[in-house]
Amino acid sequence: FGFSYNTIKTFIQGGNTTQPLGPTLHMLAAAESGVLTLILTNPIWVVKTRLCLQYGAEASGNKASEYRGMVHALAQIYRKEGIRGLYRGFIPGMFGVSHGALQFMTYEEMKNYYNTYRKLPIDTKLATTEYLAFAAISKLIAAAATYPYQVIRARLQDHHLNYTGSWDCIKQTWRYEGPKGFYKGIQPNLTRVVPATMITFLMYENVSHYLMERSKKANA
């Protein structure tokens, strides 16, 4: 996601990294990157969900319904459900693109505002603690705003549950569980993803600045 986002953002900037894009173009670049990433990775998320929620086969003695691993699960899903099976939850995932778009937009705008406040170019390298803080804040804001789609997507991908579609899943979740049902598991999710996001963004920034400096020296 980060690689494709940076490529699209640089293209929009015309190669000038000091050119501010503004919230709208930041969200557009992140959204385009998110859609591309979703198309490539949705089958993996389906398999992950199926493997995590694989239960009942041993109790019923139906060993044939078990997935023996990632490759076997991919093959079984494709054989029994076709390409649609590998793209279950894709529509909620499309709404989930807003998560990455909001996260990157918030992160970029905070960096730009901070450097502008210090009267420095927007591509000025920040301190490690500043990158970590901006990454954590942007992740928390994006998660609070968009987490429900992850619940809906996971339930649609669970082969033990029967929903006629995304809207049916939303209605049943609201009817039987209320607003809290859309935020189930958010605490352990944030405990896992916030530190991972902080490290990912820090590595992304350091590698990006290293490559830019290397490119400038090569062109000098």
| CA max distance for the chain | 69
State residue 102's pLDDT score. Answer: 86
Domain housing 36: 2-219
How many residues would you count in the chain? 220
φ and ψ of 74, to 5 deg? -60, -45
Q: Could you state, in chain order, the average pLDDT of each consecutive group of 10 residues for the chain (220 residues)?
A: 68 70 76 81 85 62 64 86 84 75 88 92 90 95 87 79 84 91 90 92 88 77
**pLDDT value for 127:** 93
CB 74 within 8 A of CB 86: yes
Evaluate if pTM is beyond 0.75: no
Domain holding 158: CATH number?
Answer: 1.50.40.10
Q: Given this model, what pLDDT does residue 118 score?
A: 92
Contact 105, 32 (CB under 8 A): no
- CB environment 89-121: b (16+ within 10 A), e (fewer): bbbbbbebbbbbbbbbbbbbbbbbebbeeeeee
Tally of domains in the chain = 1
pLDDT at position 60 is 45
Q: What is the pLDDT of residue 1?
A: 57
| CA gyration radius, the chain | 20
> At 199, which amino acid appears?
I
Tell me, what's the pLDDT at 57?
52
What's the rounded Cα separation, in Å, for the pair 168 and 104? Answer: 31
Nearest-5° angle of CA 52, CA 58, CA 61?
Answer: 140
> Rounded distance, CA 85 to CA 102, Å?
28
